[in-house]
Amino acid sequence: MPGLIGFTSLSPRTDYGKSVRLDALDRMREALTHRDWLVSDELFCDERVCATRVDTHLLQPDPQPYRSGDLYVWLDGELYTGSNATDPAFLADGFCDNIDLSFLCKLDGYFTAAVYDKSGSKIHLLTDRYGFRQLYWTVAEDQLWWGTELKAALHLPGFQPRVDRDALSQHLARGYPPGDKSLIQNIELIPEGTILTWDLLTGESTSQRYWDWDRVGNITLPNDPREMLEEWGRLFVRAVEKRSMNGRVGVMLSGGLDSRAILAAMPDSISPLHAVTFGIRDAADVRIAARAAAVRGAVHHVQELTVHNWLAPRFEGVWWQDGHLNLIAMHGMGGFDERREWFDINLSGFLGDVTMGGSYSRKTGDHEIDLIRNRGRRFIAYGLKSATTYFENRIPFFDNDLLEYTLSIPESQRARDHVYADMLLMRFPDLFKKIPWQETGVPITWPLPVAYQFKRWQSLFNRALHKVGVGGTGHTQFADYNEWLRQDPAKSQISNILTSKDAIYPEYVDRGIVIRMWEELQRGVPRCLEVGLYATLEIWLQQFFNARYRSLPTEDTTL
Spatial separation of the C-alpha atoms in residues 10 and 13, rounded to whole Å: 8
- Determine the pLDDT at residue 415: 86
Residues 6+ apart with CB under 8 A from 49: 6, 7, 8, 9, 72, 116, 123, 200
Quick one: pLDDT at residue 475? 64
Name the pTM for this structure: 0.94
Average pLDDT for consecutive 10-residue bins of the chain (559 residues)?
Answer: 89 71 96 94 95 96 97 97 93 89 92 97 97 96 95 94 97 95 98 97 94 91 96 98 95 97 97 97 95 98 97 96 96 92 97 89 74 93 89 97 96 88 98 95 90 79 58 71 98 97 97 98 98 98 95 53
pLDDT at 474: 57
Residue 504 exposure: Cα atoms within 13 Å on the Cβ side: 15
Closest to 333 measured CA to CA, from 386, 276, 274, 259 = 386
For residue 544, the 8-state DSSP code is H
Tell me what pLDDT residue 557 has: 42
Q: Could you give the CA distance from residue 467 to residue 18 in angstroms, rounded to a whole number? A: 69
**The residue type at 516:** R
Does 272 sit behind a cis peptide bond, omega within 30 degrees of 0 on the bond before it? yes
Contacts of 251 (CB under 8 A, 6+ apart): 259, 262, 263, 266, 273, 274, 275, 276, 298, 346, 347
Q: How far apart are CA 123 and CA 197, in angstroms?
A: 6
Determine phi and psi for 79, rounding to 5 degrees: -110, 155
- pLDDT for position 386: 82
- Domains of the chain with bracketed CATH: 4-211 (3.60.20.10), 222-445 (3.40.50.620), 481-546 (no CATH)
Q: Is 185 exposed, middle or buried (0-12, 13-18, 19+ CB in 10 A)?
A: middle
